[in-house]
Amino acid sequence: MPRHVAVIMDGNGRWAKQHGLARALGHKQGVNTLHEITETAARLGIGYLTMYAFSTENWNRPQDEIDALMALLVSTIATETPTLMKNNVRLLTIGDMQRLPQDVRTKIENCKQQTAANTGLNLVIALSYSARWEITEAARQLATAVANGQLLPQDINEQRISDALTTHAIPDPDLLIRTSGELRISNFLLWQLAYSELWFTDKLWPDFTADDFCNALRDYQKRERRFGKTSEQLKNN
């Protein structure tokens, strides 16, 4: 079983269009899938599930869609917190939370506090997140430490960079799932996905089911993860 699964939940807009609905209703339907996949991951004993809910670039969408997503976020937290508690799920977030409206931040912080002692699945929601933003912040943090004399340039290594990212307490994803047939990473966890297995499906996020999720996990279990080594080296170990 992968320890950490990351998901790019794509295709809500196209799903809405297919059904003759407003885009916001596609996102609303997407929340149902989010609920189902979170419960499934919790039941399967997966340690971390990271969901790309809102990217830095999503701030460029029409204001009414941004407003609808923020409102959906607030209402989803209200309806889903009991589910998180029932399933022993801890909520975490990554991203530039300062950019979120104050009411959204408060609701998220309350939910994080309420679920902080849960010991099952860690549900990581990426909000106002992009990997280039995150890496830029990490670079600034390390540069500041050097400028203040707290860090020598020669002491900067991969571990220090990992530690400066918003995901410092989270293992790298083992598996990345992207729905909707797009074959790209879209500025998501660029550093952390270095050795992740990638799995794509044409299904739109609102149509994605627990069975599809399990198919991705089964596919992952058949892969050989070599981390740059040869197949023979792995067998001899």
Q: For ligand FPP, what does the binding mask look like between residues 105 and 144, x meaning CB under 6 A?
A: ----------------------------------------
Is 76 near ligand FPP (CB under 6 A)? yes
Q: How far apart are CA 179 and CA 33, in angstroms?
A: 12
Q: Which of 4, 7, 12, 56 binds ligand FPP (CB under 6 A)?
A: 12
- H-assigned helices in 52-178: 63-86, 102-115, 131-147, 158-164
220 binds ligand FPP (CB under 6 A): no
Residue 40 contacts residue 214 (beta carbons within 8 Å)? yes
Q: Which tokens sit at 53?
A: 């809910």
Q: Quote the strand ranges of the chain, DSSP E.
A: 4-8, 48-55, 90-94, 122-129, 175-178, 197-200
Examine the residue annotation and report whether 118 is marked as an active-site residue of this protein: no
Site string for ligand FPP, 147-186 (x = CB under 6 A): ---------------------------------x------
Q: Does position 54 bind ligand FPP by CB under 6 A?
A: yes
Binder among 6, 24, 31, 217 for ligand FPP (CB under 6 A): 31
Find, among 93, 94, 85, the residue nearest to 119 by Cα: 85
Strand order, beta sheet including 197-200? 90-94, 122-129, 48-55, 4-8, 175-178, 197-200
Q: Which stretch binds ligand FPP (CB under 6 A): 29-37, 110-118, 130-138, 140-148?
A: 29-37
- Residues of this chain that interact with ligand FPP (CB under 6 A) are 9-14, 27, 30-31, 34, 53-54, 58, 69, 72-73, 76, 180, 205
